[in-house]
C-alpha cells in the first residue's frame, strides 16, 4: 500500500511539472508572437476606425471692404489666415461626399478632416475663394440658392460684393474639382415671406407642406442639373431652420446629408443618421483666426 501511494505521488508530481512546463512554453510563445506581430496588429486595428470627428466651418460673404465685415462677412486676408491655420495644424479639408462615402461604404478620411462651406453662393467666390483653394489644395462646399443664381443669369450682374453666382461661374468652380455644391432651396431663403426659411407653416397640412418643399427643392435641382450638370446630394437648411416634417421630406427626396447652423462638432459613425442635421460653426469676420479656430477644436480661446 505504501509503495502504491509513493507511485501515485510520483505521478501527481510529474503531472504538475508537465502542466507547469506547458504553461511556461505557452507564455514564451505568446511573448515572441507579440514582439513579432505587435506593430502589424496595431496598424490593423488603427486602420479600422469606428468613427471620426468632423467639424464644419460655415462662411458666407467675402469682401475687401473692411466696413462690410460683420458676423457673416470676412476679408480675403482673414480667409487666407484661416486656411493657413488649418494647414499648419494638420487639418485636411474634405468634401461632404467623402464623409458620405466614409459612412455608407467604409471609405477613408484623413486624420483631422474638416469641411469648409460657403452659404448662399455669392458671385465673388470665383475671385476670392477659388485662388485660395488652388493655392492650398483645399476643397469647399458651396450652397446655392437657385433663384438668386437664375436672377444673376438673367440680369448679368457682376457686382463683386453683392451679386450671386451665375451658372457660368458655378461651372468654373465645379470644373476646378475643388468645389462641390449643395441645394439651399430655390426660393425659400427668406424670413419675411410666407414661411420662415423652409419650415412648415402653422396650420399647414403635411401633404401641402411636402408638395411645397419638394416643388421648391426640385426647381433648384433642375437649375443646377440643366445648367451645370450638377445633382447635389446635400441639402442646406436656410438659416438652419428644420423640423420633423422637413427631415422626412429631405430624406425622401434622396439627399444623403443635410446641414444646419447648430454649432457643434459632428461625429461620423456607420449609422447614416449621423449625416443629417449636421452642425456647423459660423465664421464671423470680426474675430481673430485663433479665437474662431479654438471653437472647432474644442479648446478655450
For 218, half-sphere exposure in the C-beta direction (CA atoms, 13 angstrom radius) is 9
- Is residue 111 classed as helix, strand or coil in its secondary structure? coil
Radius of gyration of the chain (CA): 28
Lookup: cell for 18: 508537465
pLDDT, residue 156, reads 78
Name the helix (H) or strand (E) containing 57.
Answer: strand 56-59
pLDDT, residue 67, reads 95
pLDDT, residue 162, reads 73
pLDDT, residue 49, reads 52
The answer to whether the beta carbons of residues 96 and 141 sit under 8 Å apart is: yes
CA distance from start to end of the chain? 86
- Is residue 143 classed as helix, strand or coil in its secondary structure? strand
pLDDT, residue 41, reads 33
pLDDT, residue 194, reads 86
Angstrom distance (rounded) from CA 20 to CA 15: 9
| Digitized pLDDT (tens) for each residue of the chain, 301 residues in all | 444 344 344 444 555 455 455 555 555 544 544 444 444 333 333 333 578 999 999 999 999 999 999 999 999 999 999 999 999 999 999 999 999 999 999 999 999 999 999 999 999 999 999 999 999 999 999 999 999 999 999 987 666 667 999 999 999 999 999 999 999 999 999 998 889 999 999 999 999 999 999 999 999 999 999 999 999 999 999 999 999 999 999 999 999 999 999 999 999 999 999 999 999 999 999 999 999 999 988 654 4
Q: State pLDDT tens for residues 7-36.
A: 344 444 555 455 455 555 555 544 544 444
Cα dist from 91 to 38, 84, 141, 142, 279, whole Å: 29, 10, 16, 19, 18
Q: Fold for domain 53-297?
A: TIM Barrel (3.20.20)
- Is residue 26 classed as helix, strand or coil in its secondary structure? helix
pLDDT, residue 18, reads 52
Q: What is the pTM of this model?
A: 0.82
pLDDT, residue 288, reads 97
Amino acid at each position: 500500500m505504501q509503495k502504491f501511494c509513493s507511485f501515485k505521488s510520483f505521478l501527481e508530481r510529474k503531472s504538475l511539472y508537465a502542466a507547469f512546463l506547458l504553461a511556461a512554453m505557452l507564455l514564451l510563445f505568446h511573448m515572441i508572437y507579440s514582439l513579432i506581430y505587435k506593430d502589424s496588429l496595431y496598424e490593423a486595428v488603427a486602420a479600422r476606425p469606428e468613427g471620426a470627428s468632423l467639424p464644419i466651418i460655415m462662411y458666407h460673404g467675402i469682401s475687401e471692404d473692411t466696413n462690410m465685415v460683420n458676423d457673416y462677412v470676412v476679408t480675403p486676408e482673414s480667409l487666407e489666415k484661416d486656411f493657413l491655420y488649418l494647414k499648419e495644424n494638420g487639418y485636411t479639408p474634405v468634401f461632404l461626399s467623402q464623409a458620405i462615402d466614409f459612412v455608407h461604404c467604409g471609405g477613408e478620411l484623413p486624420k483631422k478632416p474638416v469641411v469648409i462651406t460657403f452659404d448662399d453662393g455669392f458671385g465673388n467666390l470665383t475671385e476670392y475663394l477659388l485662388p485660395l483653394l488652388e493655392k492650398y489644395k483645399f476643397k469647399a462646399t458651396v450652397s446655392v440658392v437657385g433663384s438668386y443664381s437664375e436672377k444673376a443669369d438673367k440680369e448679368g450682374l457682376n457686382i463683386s460684393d453683392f451679386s450671386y453666382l451665375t451658372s457660368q461661374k458655378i461651372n468654373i468652380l465645379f470644373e476646378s474639382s475643388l468645389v462641390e455644391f449643395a441645394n439651399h432651396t430655390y426660393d425659400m431663403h427668406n424670413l419675411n415671406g410666407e414661411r420662415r426659411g423652409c419650415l412648415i407653416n402653422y396650420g399647414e397640412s403635411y401633404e401641402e407642406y411636402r408638395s411645397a418643399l419638394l416643388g421648391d427643392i426640385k426647381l433648384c435641382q433642375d437649375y443646377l442639373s440643366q445648367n451645370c450638370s450638377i445633382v447635389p446630394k446635400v441639402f442646406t437648411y436656410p438659416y438652419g431652420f428644420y423640423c420633423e416634417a422637413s427631415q422626412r421630406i429631405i430624406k425622401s427626396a434622396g439627399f444623403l446629408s443635410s446641414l444646419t447652423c447648430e454649432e457643434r462638432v459632428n461625429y461620423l459613425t456607420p449609422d447614416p443618421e449621423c449625416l443629417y442635421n449636421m452642425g456647423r460653426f459660423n465664421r464671423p469676420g470680426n474675430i481673430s483666426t485663433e479665437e474662431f479656430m479654438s471653437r472647432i477644436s474644442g479648446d478655450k480661446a
